[in-house]
Structure 1
């Protein structure tokens, strides 16, 4: 998987409504990413990530770590 695609997926999951506490399956993660990219586009996702890091840096870092690990798991070959 390309690093750019991985980054877009991670940002989309980060700004999606899906929560770590829901313990989502790989299928739910993929669906949330697709829906979020369809709704916001890659640039919209990136803009919301930047906004969250600016407004809530204490929470954003943990969510980004979860999103990155969840994307790797959901799209593992």
Structure 2
């Protein structure tokens, strides 16, 4: 179950307004994930991720790698 939740969080961060260059804190990442899921829903986030991978696979890969790493850091130790 945790993997499914992490996947949804990664999708939400991927399609959020946050950028790696902003060096967001864990608190900002968690807030962005919650706001994006509230706005788009989990299915909406997944649809936009698929669209980006279809249109810009070269950029999408590095963004998803960042999102996965950021989610792991922001939601560890019971945070979130």
Deviations 1:22-71 (CA, angstroms, capped at 9, x unpaired): 00000000000000000000000000000000000000000000000000
CA distance in 1, matches of 2:72, 2:47: 22
Aligned to 1:21: 21
**Structure 2: runs of 5+ lacking an equivalent:** none
RMSD: 0.8
In 2: Cα distance, 1:34 partner to 1:28 partner? 10
Superposition misfits of 4+ residues, deviation over 4 angstroms:
none
In the alignment of these two chains, the number of paired residues is 77
Please say if 1:56 is aligned against 2:53. Answer: no
Where does the alignment leave 5 or more consecutive residues of structure 1 unmatched?
A: none
